[in-house]
Amino acid sequence: MGGTSHRHFFACHACTQGRGVLGEWNGRGGGQQTRAWRRWSCYHPRACHVELRIGAKMKVDGQCHCGAIKYEAEVEPGNVVICNCADCQRQSGSVFRANIPAPAGSFRIVSGMPRKYLKIADSGAKRIHAFCENCGGPVYACAAETPQTYSLRIGALTQRYELGSPSRQIWMKRRFSWLTELDDVPGCEGQS
Ligand SMILES: [Zn+2]
Ligand SMILES: [Zn+2]
């Protein structure tokens, strides 16, 4: 069944379960990113089909796990970035974080008041990490002074399956080597 070696797979937007495959974009970054749109369709029997417009704005909303903090923002689908840095691993307790930037002017807290942690990186860069003090859920990260963008964790957004596959990943030297092998790990649809 093959095709090229660089096909990108991701969950289908419409059914959020089926595996989709990029139809007209099979490269890895570089000039391919200038394409105006990407298209994918789902292998699911319902034949879900979605178009993702690069450069188009999308309203998103998110919340922490307990729901005390809710927020909304505007993002550009296709702008998801994977960060494999040690800080992201430590702070999330996971192997990487997937973020999408939202212009500061578009970000709005709808309810609740996040707590803020000032993170100072090895480089000296200061960033605010906002989180829910009740459940610990991440809300945003931004520059400590006059932030231009708010970095949102895509897993906390309602529209997380509609944002497209990542366009970039950083801190590759920290990346877990087995991330590329996940498709070969036995899995099941739910908990068991
Ligand atoms: Zn919470
Ligand atoms: Zn990071």
CA of 133 to the centre of ligand 1 (A): 7
Measured CA to CA, the distance from residue 39 to residue 17 in angstroms comes to: 17
CA of 154 to the centre of ligand 1 (A): 16
CA of 187 to the centre of ligand 1 (A): 29
Whose atoms come closest to the Cα of 125: which ligand? Answer: 2
The CATH number of the domain covering residues in 58-170: 2.170.150.70
How many other CB atoms are found less than 10 A from the CB of residue 19? 13
CA of 63 to the centre of ligand 1 (A): 8
Query: What would you measure as the largest C-alpha separation in the chain, in angstroms?
Result: 51
Question: Any idea what DSSP says for residue 176?
Answer: -
In the chain, what are the domain boundaries? 1-54, 58-170
**One digit per residue, pLDDT tens: the chain, 192 residues?**
333 333 344 444 455 544 444 433 334 433 333 333 344 444 444 444 445 555 678 999 999 999 999 999 999 988 999 999 999 999 999 999 999 999 999 999 999 999 999 999 888 999 999 999 999 999 999 999 999 999 999 999 999 988 888 889 999 999 999 999 998 999 988 888
Residue pair 170/89 in contact by the 8 Å Cβ criterion: no
Question: Any idea what DSSP says for residue 86?
Answer: H
Give the SS3 label for residue 90: helix
Contacts of residue 7, defined as CB under 8 A and 6 or more positions apart, other chains included, come to 21, 22, 26
Contacts of residue 87, defined as CB under 8 A and 6 or more positions apart, other chains included, come to 119, 121
CA of 82 to the centre of ligand 2 (A): 8
Whose atoms come closest to the Cα of 71: which ligand? Answer: 1
CA of 109 to the centre of ligand 2 (A): 23
CA of 46 to the centre of ligand 2 (A): 37
Model pTM score: 0.74
Query: Which among 74, 22, 31, 27 has a CA at the least distance from the CA of 51?
Result: 22
Whose atoms come closest to the Cα of 82: which ligand? Answer: 2
